[in-house]
């Protein structure tokens, strides 16, 4: 009786609920189909550029969007959230507080983009202590323009395109702290090892690297054409293979996905050597 009563009582509610579920299922299928199509587009691009990496593909798309003035959540002047001056204002101060970064410490902003977060680090740090590194000259040049010549002349930020030579250069500056915000998401699974190895090379023996992002308890999942949530196990493995260790600090968790900070250090043996 109860079963019938519940069924009858909720009938008018269940229909829309079932419809909602069907619509949600359909939208998910469409999203998956779109992703498959976009992955096929990448494979076609790869055939035309056999020596290029995924990050070159990322840049081709992101730079062309930026050059057309399209809004972006983190890159360029036309940010889709708040204005350039305020968009990244909480990120660096909260990292500096949490990890005790002082104005005279050398810091690397790995994947700094157009200095949305970097501008606040540049303001806080003493001259020449900020290193902004990215895969794109175009983003660095735009970032320099966005922060303005007065701040650039006063604080002399070091801006470098990531390469073996600039990684060695940044490492020689002995950074105490490296941070990487909103970057991990855009690193292709096949390029995670390189990403982590570069970071470990920069911080050398006594630095700390903090990668802000998300990870999964299960497998790495692709969430958009250029975005992945990597599995904790894959990230841990990449860090260990590069001679480091990682602590995963969770800030929030939902549906097997965790948002937080990945603290990376070199292993004591590597550090001693
Ligand atoms: C979403 S933007 C974030 C920029 C900046 N960190 C911020 O929060 O405003 C991602 C940045 O990561 C850079 N990037 C993408 N793949 C990378 C990789 N494999 N290594 C280093 N940087 C990368 C991009 O060029 C881009 O500037």
Cβ pair 99, 121 in contact under 8 A:
no
pLDDT given for residue 38 in this prediction: 87
pLDDT given for residue 271 in this prediction: 52
pLDDT given for residue 11 in this prediction: 52
Centre of ligand 1 from the C-alpha of residue 136, in Å: 9
- pLDDT tens series, the chain, 273 aa: 333 333 344 455 566 788 888 888 889 899 889 989 988 898 999 999 999 999 999 899 998 988 888 999 999 999 998 999 999 999 999 999 999 999 999 999 999 999 999 999 999 999 999 999 999 999 999 999 999 999 999 999 999 999 999 999 999 999 999 999 999 999 999 999 999 999 999 999 899 999 999 999 999 999 999 999 999 999 999 999 999 999 999 999 998 999 999 999 999 865 554
pLDDT given for residue 222 in this prediction: 93
3-state helix, strand, coil in the chain (%, to 5): 50, 20, 25
CA distances from 219 to 39, 46, 255, 264 (A): 18, 25, 13, 21
Query: Which residues does 72 contact at the CB level (< 8 Å), separation at least 6?
Result: 62, 65, 66, 78, 79, 80
pLDDT given for residue 6 in this prediction: 34
Pocket test for ligand 1, best of 111, 164, 211 (most atoms within 8 A of CB): 111
What is the residue extent of each domain of the chain?
2-51, 84-272
CA triple 204-207-208, angle to 5 deg: 125
**CATH classification of 84-272 is 3.40.50.150, yes or no?**
yes
pLDDT given for residue 81 in this prediction: 87
pLDDT given for residue 128 in this prediction: 98
Return the C-alpha torsion angle 67, 71, 73, 79, nearest 10. Answer: 90
The position carrying tokens 């001693």 is 272
Pocket test for ligand 1, best of 83, 134, 238 (most atoms within 8 A of CB): 134
What is the bridge-based pairing of β-strands 257-266 and 208-216?
antiparallel
Helix (H, G, I), strand (E, B) or coil at 52: coil
pLDDT given for residue 114 in this prediction: 96
pTM score, whole prediction? 0.89
HEC assignment per residue over 9-50: HHHHHHHHHHHHHHHHHHHHHHHHHHHHHHHHHHHHHHHHCC
Pocket of ligand 1 (CB under 6 A): 55, 58, 74-75, 88, 111-113, 116-117, 134-136, 139, 162, 181-183, 186-187, 191, 195
Centre of ligand 1 from the C-alpha of residue 182, in Å: 7
pLDDT given for residue 13 in this prediction: 54
Centre of ligand 1 from the C-alpha of residue 31, in Å: 24
Closest ligand 1 atom to Cα of 53: 19
170 vs 107: CA distance, rounded Å: 9
Centre of ligand 1 from the C-alpha of residue 117, in Å: 11
The alpha carbon dihedral of 168, 173, 178, 180 has a sign of: negative
């Amino acid at each position: 009786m109860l079963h019938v009563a519940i069924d009858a009582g909720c009938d008018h509610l269940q229909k829309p609920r079932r419809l909602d579920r069907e619509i949600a299922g359909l939208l998910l299928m469409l999203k998956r189909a779109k992703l498959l199509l976009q992955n096929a587009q990448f494979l076609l691009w790869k055939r035309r550029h056999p020596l290029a990496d995924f990050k070159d593909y990322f840049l081709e798309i992101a730079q062309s969007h930026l050059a057309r003035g399209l809004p972006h959540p983190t890159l360029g002047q036309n940010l889709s959230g708040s204005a350039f001056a305020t968009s990244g204002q909480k990120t660096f101060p909260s990292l500096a507080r949490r990890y005790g970064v002082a104005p005279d410490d050398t810091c690397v902003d790995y994947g700094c983009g157009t200095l949305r977060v970097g501008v606040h680090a540049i303001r806080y740090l003493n001259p020449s202590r900020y290193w902004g590194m990215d895969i794109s000259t175009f983003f660095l040049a735009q970032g320099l323009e966005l922060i303005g010549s007065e701040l650039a002349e006063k604080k002399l930020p070091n801006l470098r395109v990531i390469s073996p030579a600039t990684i060695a250069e940044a490492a020689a500056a002995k950074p105490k702290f490296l941070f990487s915000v909103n970057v991990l998401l855009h690193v292709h699974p096949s390029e995670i090892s390189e990403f982590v190895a570069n970071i470990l090379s920069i911080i050398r023996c006594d630095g700390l690297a903090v990668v802000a992002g998300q990870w999964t308890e299960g497998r790495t999942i692709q969430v958009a054409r250029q975005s992945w949530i990597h599995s904790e196990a894959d990230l841990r493995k990449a860090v260990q293979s590069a001679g480091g260790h990682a602590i995963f600090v969770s800030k929030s968790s939902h549906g097997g996905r965790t948002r937080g900070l990945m603290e990376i250090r070199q292993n004591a043996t590597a550090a001693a050597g």
